[in-house]
Amino acid sequence: MAMTHSKTITQATAITVRFAGDSGDGMQLTGDQFTDTSAVMGNDFATFPDYPAEIRAPAGTLPGVSSFQIQFSEAIVFTPGDIADVLIAMNPAALKVNLHHVKKSGLIIVNESVFTEPNLRKANYKTNPLNDGTLQDYQVMRVPITELTKNALKEHPLKLTEVERCKNFFALGLMFWLYSRDYEYTFQWIKKKFAKRPEIAEANIAAVKAGYSFGDITEAFNVQYQVKKASLQKGTYRKITGNEALAIGLIAGARLANKTLFYGSYPITPASGILHELSSHKHYDVKTFQAEDEIAAIGTAIGASFGGQIAVTGTSGPGVCLKSEALGLAVMAELPLILIDVQRSGPSTGMPTKTEQTDLLQVLYGRNGESPICVLAPQTPADCFDVAVEAIRIAVKYMTPVAILSEGYLANAAEPWKLPEIEKFEKITVVHPQKTEAEFLPYARDPKTLARPWAIPGTPGLEHRIGGLAKADLTGNVSYDPVNNQKMIQLRAEKIQRIAEDIPALEVRGAKSGQLLVLGWGGTYGAIYQAVDDLDKDSSRIGQAHLKYLCPFPRGLEKIVRSYKKVLVPELNSGQLIMLLRAQFPGVVFEGLNKIQGLPFQVDEIRNKIKGLL
């Protein structure tokens, strides 16, 4: 790292940085590199990439703004931060969209080069916010990033458009200096990324150095910040997103079951990353299939499950709608199938890149007939790994479809993940019946789990009828008998309920009874945890519990919720979980906190609600 001039160095416990620019400005790449460097330097962190919903919005317009927020800290953090300490705005539109995400008196670094009249009009500014008092409550640093990048690269043999694309690395270098980051990791990444275009690699490295040197020598910046290493548990860590963790968890679960993993999917934001990740792991006995539509995707997965493989299909909310009939077929056939729903804003196409928790009722009940399935929800990006393994365990043990309700926020956000000791995981036992002298009964059930046998096609003597028509008890033959129909429906429902005896009891953090329990599910975990921690340092007034198992509910839930005067349920929907809780536990006072803005909860939103209830 370059030597710095004599400037004040301030120690900070946690910093939140937000990079924002046009979708072509490389903000996600810039944020990723800043995150990777923070990880290498030993900080704990949490990120929030916020992509534009428009694929090709006109450059410089509000719909085309892309941002990336990271909180890095010497302590354990659970969220990417409510509001940023510093915003890097690469154009007027980025400033306008993201200004409310910056704390008052926070630092705003603007790319002064592009605050021109045409760009101001594109961002719907009538006057220049750098001059009209709009930013009077902030520290503003005007840095002509584009021009400085051009000047730094004037000797490099690149086209002007290629030079301008390097400006994000200038901004990254400036942030490396401001927060005492080492840039060597990024240099190695650049050399590898652009190995076939060494002139591009050299230019990007030069841009990073130019940004770093600008912070070092300019009089505008007279303070640097340092954030010490976090005290993480001993082990090997890597940065991981929720989609990556789901993919790796599926591979691990299939290996624990000694089975081939089949993933049939149709590309859809924000679930496509799972298909991309799995497609690069064929050496782990992974088969990926990109289908022509959502119905074909789940159809191939059902076929793979019938054939004895660990079968998974992934999608988002609109795809769940299309898959619903075939999912009912998997329920009727009682086959192990994993459905991943990475939830996004709706209805219809909605806001494809924005996060919500609005598919809970759809996944639970969005099929014709009585067709219950098991539903799980990860609570952090890293937790997606464990949930994927658990989904496979439950699916093959109980011969049932299992849905994983992830979210756009979890899918794209990243955090440190301590690599698990896979040899300590229990093997997932799969037993396929073999030919016997006795008559094969495809719907004879295990007395404990009520699972039917998983017979592989082609096994002599185990031929049986499959399909969506009502099944006769034991034989699986088509049956229109009313009494038999009710019996089979009740058996499938009871099978799902018995899963509750095979999962961990719900744990409560903090007060085990009293005035208030905060009960969440999915990606609300981090914001709830931080809010409760901020308000109840001695853990004596507020309890926190988080539901990873949504169907069936875990054991002890009723006793827990009845131990408090009020139960607060924060959700990124209009109140879907709270509706289920009120129906199942009458008399308990449930209070909702609901947000449907395509954004995760801020800690402050939950903190303020708790204060009001206390």
User: Pseudo-torsion of CA 78, 84, 88, 89, nearest 10°?
Assistant: 110
CATH pick for 238-424 out of 3.40.50.970, 3.50.50.60, 3.90.1720.10, 3.30.390.30: 3.40.50.970
Q: What angle do CA 547, 595, 13 make, to 5 degrees?
A: 75
CB 406 within 8 A of CB 340: yes
Query: Which residues of the chain are under the pLDDT cut of 70?
Result: 1-6
Tokens 């756009």, residue? Answer: 408
Q: Which two tokens stand for residue 363?
A: 């996944």
Distances (CA, A) of 374 to 262, 402, 404, 424: 20, 5, 9, 25
Q: Residue 5: its pLDDT value, please?
A: 57
Hey, do 238-424 and 509-613 end up sharing a CATH topology, with the first three levels equal? yes
Nearest residue to 551 (alpha-carbon basis) of 391, 421, 407, 318: 391
CB 527 within 8 A of CB 81: no
Which H/E stretch holds residue 386?
helix 383-398
pTM of the model: 0.96
| Residue 601 CB burial class (10 angstroms; 0-12, 13-18, ≥19) | buried
DSSP output for 482-502: HHHHHHHHHHHHHHHHHGGGG
Domain 8-226 CATH class label: alpha beta
CATH pick for 509-613 out of 3.90.1150.10, 3.30.1440.10, 1.10.10.10, 3.40.50.920: 3.40.50.920
Q: Residue 435: its pLDDT value, please?
A: 84
Q: Which two tokens stand for residue 272?
A: 């496509």
Tokens 């827990």, residue? Answer: 560
Strand pairing of 44-50 and 65-73? Answer: antiparallel
Please state, in angstroms and rounded to a whole number, the distance separating the CA atoms of residues 34 and 25: 15
Nearest residue to 367 (alpha-carbon basis) of 399, 325, 329: 325
CB 301 within 8 A of CB 275: no
Please state, in angstroms and rounded to a whole number, the distance separating the CA atoms of residues 17 and 83: 9
| Residue 253 CB burial class (10 angstroms; 0-12, 13-18, ≥19) | buried
Q: Which two tokens stand for residue 428?
A: 């997932």
pLDDT, tens digit, for every residue of 200-230? Answer: 999 999 999 999 999 999 888 888 999 999 9
Q: Residue 540: its pLDDT value, please?
A: 87
Tokens 């940004």, residue? Answer: 211
Q: Residue 522: its pLDDT value, please?
A: 98
Q: Residue 384: its pLDDT value, please?
A: 98
Helices and strands counted in the chain (H then E): 20, 22
CB 57 within 8 A of CB 21: no
Measured from the Cβ of residue 365, the count of other Cβ atoms closer than 10 Å reads 12
**Phi, psi dihedral angles at 472 (to 5 degrees):** -80, 145
- Domain ranges, ordered by start, for the chain: 8-226, 238-424, 509-613
